[in-house]
Amino acid sequence: MERKLHTFTAETFDDAYRQMVGQLGEDAIVLNTSEVREGGFLGLLGRKAIQLTASPPTRSIERPKSLAEKKYAEQQRQGAQGTSAGSDEAMRETVAFFRQLAQRRAFGEKPKAEDAPAPPRRKEASQPDLGREVEEMRRLLQVLVAETPCTAFPADFIPHYRRLVDSGMGRTLAASLMDAVVGGSERSILRNPRVFTERLRMEIQKRVLVTHGLPHAGHARRIVALIGPTGVGKTTNLAKLAALFAIRDRARVAIVTLDTYRVAAPEQLRVYATIAGLPMRIANDPAEYTRALEAFADYDFVFVDTAGSSPFNEEQVRELKSEFDAAPPDDVMLVLSAGTGAEDLRMIATRFGCLRPSSLFFSKLDETGRYGAMFDLAAESGLPLSYFSIGQNVPDDIETATPSKLARLLLEEGGICSGSSAQSA
C-alpha cells in the first residue's frame, strides 16, 4: 500500500518538526528537509522557510535503528560511564572561564583580572595577531565543550561528535558543526537522534561549495587540466570526463598530455583516446603545449593530462606552472585520493596552490570508508567540489559532486553509488 507523504512548512526546522509531531506523532519518519521561499512573485523575493517532508510511522515493521540511534542507546545504558573527562575539574574551570568571558563580551563588559591567572609576560601582540589568537581560542573552546559533558553540551550528544572525528574530520571542525547544531535548536527536540542527524546534515551541506560539474558544450572552447600527486588516478579520470562529454553532449573533445615523466604514460592515454575516437597530442614543453592547443582551437573541450608530482618536488611543480602560464586553462581540477588524511590533504593543496586550482576532484571513494578529511579540506580551503570518482570503469564510475552526497557519506547513509551520475548532470 502506498504511504501518504505530508509536508510541513515553517520559519525554522524546530517549528516544522513540532507540526509534524503534532499531526503524525514522534515516530514519524523524516524523508527530506529543504529550504524554500514563501510568497513573493513566482517564487522570487519571498521569505525563506524550512519545508519538512515526512511519512506516518510504520507500525507493522520495526524500523532498523540508525547508527546515531544505536550510539545514543549505548550511551544511555552506560550512564555515567565514559564521562571521566567531565570529572576533570581543571577542564570544567577552563570551560567556565571562557564561557564567562564570552558572556561579558556579549554585554560589552571587559574581563576582570581576577577571573583567571595572569598570563606570562610577552611581547605585546599586534591587532591581526590578537584576532588570530581570539579565533584560535574560540575554536579551542568549542572542542573543550564538545568533549566535556556539561550543561552546554550534554553527554548524550557526544556520540555524534565522536562519529565525525572517527570519520577523519578534524576536532575543531567537528566541534564547530556540533556548536552550530546544538546552539540553534531546543535540546528536547535534538535528543531525538533522527532530528539531530537531520540538523547535522543541513549544517554539513551549508558548508560545502560545488561546481555542479563542467558546463555542457557551448560556443567557446574550454581547456580543463587535471593536476595532483602521483597515484590518484588523474589519467583514468581524465579519460572518463573526455569520453563522458563526447558521448553525452556529442561535443568535440580533444586530449593533450604533459605527462612525459612516466614510462608509457602517453601510450596509456592514447589507448583511451583511440577507443573513444578522440584526437590526442603529446607536449614536452610550453611551446609544444601552446601549438597543441592551437591545433584544437575549434574544439569544445580540451582535456589536459599532467604528470603526477610529489608535492615536495618544487621543480616539477614550477615546470608545470610555466606551461600553464603560457596557456592558462579555464578549469584546474586538483585530483586527490579520498583515503588521504586531513593533514596530508592540506599540505598537498598548499603545495599545488601556485597552479591556482579551481575545484577539488576526489577519487577512489570506493577504497575508503572515512570521508571526514574530504569535508575538512573543502570547508577550510573554500574550493568547490567538482566530481567524485568511485571506480576504474571508463566512462562510468564518476559522478558530479553534491553537498547531499558528501553529507550521506559522512553520516554513513547509503554508501557508494555505482554508475555515472555525472551523465545526468
The tens place of each residue's pLDDT in the chain, 425 residues long, gives 456 788 888 888 778 888 888 888 877 777 777 777 776 655 556 678 888 888 887 654 454 554 544 554 565 565 544 444 444 454 455 455 555 544 444 444 444 444 444 444 444 545 555 566 556 555 555 655 555 545 455 667 778 888 888 889 988 888 888 888 887 677 778 778 888 888 899 999 999 999 999 988 777 899 999 999 988 999 999 999 999 999 888 999 999 999 876 656 678 788 888 888 899 999 988 999 999 999 999 999 999 999 887 777 788 888 899 999 999 999 999 999 999 999 999 999 999 999 999 999 999 999 998 999 999 999 999 999 999 998 888 778 899 999 999 999 998 754 454 444 454 44
Q: Are 163 and 287 members of one domain?
A: no
Please give the pLDDT value at position 111.
47
* Per-residue 3-state assignment (H helix, E strand, C coil) for 95-157: HHHHHHHHHHHHCCCCCCHHHCCCCCCCCCCCHHHHHHHHHHHHHHHHHHHHHCCCCCCCHHH
Which whole-number Å values give the CA distances from 68 to 82, 162, 192, 197, 374, in the listed order?
A: 17, 11, 10, 7, 21
Does residue 190 contact residue 157 with C-beta atoms inside 8 Å?
A: yes
Q: Are 231 and 137 members of one domain?
A: no
Collapsing DSSP to helix, strand or coil, 201 comes out as helix
Please give the pLDDT value at position 232.
92
Q: Are 253 and 337 members of one domain?
A: yes
Q: Are 50 and 73 members of one domain?
A: no
Q: Are 40 and 102 members of one domain?
A: no
Q: Is the dihedral of CA 166, 167, 168, 173 positive or negative?
A: negative
DSSP code per residue over 346-386: HHHHHHGGGG---EEEEE-GGG-S--HHHHHHHHHH-PPEE
Question: Considering the domain boundaries, does residue 292 fall inside one?
Answer: yes
Q: How many domains does the chain have?
A: 3
Residue ending a domain, choose from 206, 241, 264: 206
Cell of 87: 570529572
Which whole-number Å values give the CA distances from 84 to 53, 251, 392, in the listed order?
A: 40, 62, 47
Residue ending a domain, choose from 166, 181, 206: 206
- List for the chain the helix, strand, coil content (%; round to 5): 50, 15, 35
CA distance 228 to 218: 27
Contacts by residues 192-198 (CB-CB < 8 Å, ≥ 24 positions apart): 192/26, 193/66, 193/68, 193/69, 193/71, 193/72, 194/29, 194/30, 194/66, 194/68, 194/69, 195/17, 195/30, 196/68, 196/157, 196/160, 197/66, 197/68, 197/160, 197/411, 198/13, 198/30, 198/33
Question: Considering the domain boundaries, does residue 124 fall inside one?
Answer: no
pTM exceeding the 0.75 threshold for the entire prediction: no
Nearest to 257 by CA among 270, 241, 247: 270
Question: Considering the domain boundaries, does residue 212 fall inside one?
Answer: no
Question: Considering the domain boundaries, does residue 215 fall inside one?
Answer: no
Cell of 404: 547531499
Q: Are 266 and 135 members of one domain?
A: no
Q: Are 332 and 247 members of one domain?
A: yes
Question: Considering the domain boundaries, does residue 214 fall inside one?
Answer: no
Q: Are 244 and 357 members of one domain?
A: yes
Collapsing DSSP to helix, strand or coil, 82 comes out as coil
CA distance 358 to 362: 13
Q: Are 183 and 236 members of one domain?
A: no
Q: Are 177 and 106 members of one domain?
A: yes
Does residue 346 contact residue 377 with C-beta atoms inside 8 Å?
A: yes
Question: Considering the domain boundaries, does residue 126 fall inside one?
Answer: no
CA distance 382 to 334: 13
Find the CATH number of the domain harbouring 273: 3.40.50.300
Quote the domain boundaries for residue 11.
Answer: 6-55
* Residue 169, number of CB atoms within 10 A of its CB: 25
CA distance 328 to 355: 10
Question: Considering the domain boundaries, does residue 36 fall inside one?
Answer: yes
Q: Are 169 and 314 members of one domain?
A: no
Q: Are 270 and 189 members of one domain?
A: no
